[in-house]
Amino acid sequence: MSQATGEAGPGVDPGAAVDPGPAVDPGPGVDAPRRRHTARWVAGIVLLVAAALVAVLATRPGYSTVASPNASLGKVVVAAGPGPLATQQRREAAAAGAKTITLAGPTLTGQPFDLASYRGRWAVVNFFASWCPPCQQEEPDLVTFAFEHRSPTGTALIGVVVNDAPSRALRYQQQQGATWPVVADANGSAGVDWAVTGQPETFLVAPTGRVVAHFAGPLTLKDLDTALATAAVTSSGP
């Protein structure tokens, strides 16, 4: 019987690495759990991003939003920008409460002015400055509105110039063809009384002298006509 000697035999280097042979493909099912796990993570991240985007869009203020009444004045912001509001929103805003605010002082032409003298008529009070681009944007619509309501019993338009030189504001009004009275708020007291925070801001005053609507930002002729018509219907209701 022969005995194994442990020798590698001729031509074989005992220290050489053994070739394991060609790599074996484990098949498509081996990494499937890992791929499914990664897909779940990706899907979860996508859902979170989508949910965050929806939340941001849902809470962004649009052009037609109703804000809470101002605690000090009882006024209501019924427009956050130049777009028109839904009728129901305007009614809710007008019903939320309003307050009579005084406005008196000299006009740009030196004439005395008192808003109380307009009781019995609708009035639009517009705070503006000649250097303000949004004010310049809405000026042609204000001119048209004033012309359409030029009768003695029509809706009165009153301007209040703030943060501007009276001489420059007067020249601006003349260039634009504006003929309505403009009060010079030299010391800023009118802006404080009406809680104005920028230009332009416009207030709709009922014949009773109460502020029933407040617009922040430039207006169009359609905005003014719609607000006036809606407020008139609301004020005549039960």
Which distant-in-sequence residues (6+ apart) come within 8 Å of 210 by Cβ?
98, 99, 100
Structure tokens that stand for 152 in this block: 């003695």
The verdict on residue 134 lying in a domain is: yes
**pTM, rounded to two decimals:** 0.61
Look at strands 123-128 and 201-205 and give their pairing. antiparallel
> What is the mean predicted confidence (pLDDT) over 129-134?
96
The verdict on residue 40 lying in a domain is: no
Please tell me the predicted confidence (pLDDT) of residue 188.
87
Are 105 and 185 in contact by the 8 Å Cβ rule? The answer is yes
Instruction: Give the C-alpha distances (Å, rounded to integers) separating 125 from 54, 69, 110, 200, 211.
Output: 38, 18, 18, 10, 10
The verdict on residue 119 lying in a domain is: yes
Q: Supply the mean pLDDT for the chain.
A: 73
pLDDT tens digits for 16-68?
A: 454 555 554 555 554 555 666 666 766 666 566 555 543 433 333 332 323 32
> What is the mean predicted confidence (pLDDT) over 192-215?
93
Higher per-residue confidence, 32 vs 168: 168
Higher per-residue confidence, 34 vs 208: 208
Task: Give the domain CATH number at 169.
Answer: 3.40.30.10
* Residue-number span of the structural domain to which 219 is assigned: 77-236
Please tell me the predicted confidence (pLDDT) of residue 64.
30
If one counts the domains in the chain, the total is 1
pLDDT tens digits for 170-199?
A: 999 999 999 999 999 888 889 999 999 999
Please tell me the predicted confidence (pLDDT) of residue 187.
86
Please tell me the predicted confidence (pLDDT) of residue 223.
94
Instruction: Give the C-alpha distances (Å, rounded to integers) separating 62 from 11, 81, 82.
Output: 87, 8, 10
The verdict on residue 188 lying in a domain is: yes
Q: For tokens 């207030």, what's the residue? A: 203
> What is the mean predicted confidence (pLDDT) over 101-120?
93
Whether residue 70 has pLDDT greater than 60: no
Q: Give 211's pLDDT tier (boundaries 50, 70, 90).
A: very high
The verdict on residue 179 lying in a domain is: yes
The verdict on residue 66 lying in a domain is: no
The verdict on residue 72 lying in a domain is: no
The verdict on residue 9 lying in a domain is: no
